[in-house]
Amino acid sequence: MDLKALIRDIPDFPKPGILFRDITTLLRDPEGLKYSIDTLANQVRDWQPEYIVGMESRGFIFGAALAYQMGVGFIPVRKPGKLPAAVHTVEYALEYGADKLEIHQDAVVAGSRILIVDDLIATGGTAAATAKLLQDVGCELVGCGFVIELDDLNGRSRLPDVPIISLVHY
């Protein structure tokens, strides 16, 4: 299936000079969505994750569907102040400034086998911060899966040395 044909390009969003890859058109296509989840599942099944971790917000969409498909748990990683119980936090650098991500302290136990899933990897900052957060609490990162990878930004170079798959490359 040609997933690129289902991904809409939005020029100059969210600011001039950026070409945004919009997955909402992929999500509304039942066959494209099913193909994406099935293909991700087939490519990561041998990694035997116990949990899928998805980052806010589009990582929730693909991560939760993939967890359901694989029969494993789903764990959200959120922006600060969104989770109601005690959290682990990681701070990471952005192009201009810093941001934080959080996970519930009781979401995983040390030794858990984790697969990080998101809709897109660009510079890799969010995925790298999530990987650090999980490794800091003693989890075993078994891999990362993305629907879209922006190759020129080389985000995968910021990730730990684990298997990484992307369904579409730009």
Identify the structural domains of the chain with CATH numbers, from first to last.
47-169 (3.40.50.2020)
Mean pLDDT across 96-104: 91
Active site residue 78: no
User: Cα–Cα distance between 166 and 121 in angstroms, integer?
Assistant: 9
Contacts of 86 (CB under 8 A, 6+ apart): 104, 105, 106
Structure tokens belonging to residue 68? 């359901």
Compute the C-alpha angle 9/27/160, nearest 5°. 80
1/164 Cα distance (integer angstroms): 20
Mean pLDDT, the chain, as a whole number?
96
CA distances from 106 to 45, 59, 60 (A): 25, 20, 18
Active site residue 58: yes
Q: Would you say residue 116 has pLDDT above 90?
A: yes
Determine the average pLDDT of the residues in 94-116. 92
Per-residue pLDDT for 95 more than 90?
no
What is the average pLDDT across 136-164? 97
Which residue would you say has higher pLDDT here, 97 or 122?
122
Q: Give the pLDDT of residue 97.
A: 80
What pairs with residue 145 in β-bridges? 117, 165
93: confidence class by pLDDT, cuts 50, 70, 90: confident
Q: What is the pLDDT of residue 94?
A: 77
| Statement: residue 120 has pLDDT above 90 | yes
**In Å, what is the CA distance from 20 to each residue of 8, 31, 110?**
8, 22, 37
Q: Residue 106: what are its φ and ψ, rounded to 5°?
A: -95, 15
Residue 88 has pLDDT above 80, yes or no: yes
- 50, 58, 78, 102: the active-site residue: 58
DSSP state of 49: -
Q: What contacts 17, CB < 8 A, 6 or more positions away? A: none
| pLDDT at 96 > cutoff 90 | no
- Dist CA 51 CA 97 (whole Å): 31
pLDDT of residue 20: 96
pTM: 0.96
